[in-house]
Structure 1
Amino acid sequence: MSDTTVLVLVGSLRADSLNRKIAEALRDQAPAGVTVEIAENLEQLPFYNEDLDAGDVPAAAAALRDQVSRADRVLAVTPEYNGTMPAVLNNAIDWLSRPYGVGAIKGKPFGVVGATPTPYGGKWAHADTARSAGIAGAVVVEDVTVSQSALEVDVLSDPEVLARLRAAVQTLVDYTEVEAA
């Protein structure tokens, strides 16, 4: 597929975040015909509250919904916090799941990758993120998840790790509805 936009939701707000650096590397090394765009300002999303969603939606939520609506694919790049996904990512998915049944994430092919300084590489956060996105209406693409331990490898320079991350993006980009049947 050409001319594909992948919107990345980064699960860490820290300026020097390894997962933000992974997202930036994926953006900078995107395959030909693919634009990887990083959603900014997730920290400006208020906690999801249906009362806030009833009238004028907060500007940050409206902007994120618009970005996801325009994107062809969504990729979460996230660490793991206490065995699950970070609150900022969970909150973003909550906003994207509404209005119920027609939220911006509905029907979007979705994947998750990331790294953590643990032996498990964030696999629980990645599973929780995929489950939450699927319940929100996204189409979670098999074989996209990469849970990488950052304990004994420099994730940003190891050729094997970078190849697996790029392959995950390519799998997400190449996904077609026919595969879901």
Structure 2
Amino acid sequence: MRILWDFDGTLFDTYPAFTRVMKELVHSEIKEEDILKELKVSFRHATEVFDLSEAQVETFREMDNAVSPEDKPPFRGLKDILEKAEVNVIMTHKPREEVIAILNHFEMDHYFTDLVAGDDGYPRKPDASSYRYLHKKHNLDLAIGDRVLDILPAKEIGLKTCLFQNNAEGADMYVTNYHDLSEMLWPTSK
């Protein structure tokens, strides 16, 4: 299995940290669950919904960079899938330096063959350019993401798709944890 992974909310549980940081920048009456809901659509979407200025967006990025990687852990059961997969690649809007810092912190960089990061010059999802590049280079089978935005480009280029902790329409598979995905991809005999 050759897998393309989204990073935030798919490989690593970063949304609690994102939500806490954004909570400091929005009106006090806005609840964390409302912030999370909008962030799960996309960061850009959340900044528009909460009417954040460019200065506030830059402050968010600075504050998020200051959050320890320890507060952005990998999801439970993830390493089992990464070990079983033939190839793992990442496509994320997060800057390369941040991705590498988190991967190194959790000693997980060796699981990934390739990475397209937000500062590599590709258009943002749902544009399929970065997915097309990674698929051509690695002959991928499956794309896994936590948002519809993550699976749209995969669908466009003919990859199977999996939504993680999201039941929105459009994916080929849905999972809420990585133990279940491992069983789906590599069933064990009982």
Give the TM-score range, shorter chain.
Answer: 0.3 to 0.5
Radius of gyration: which is bigger?
2
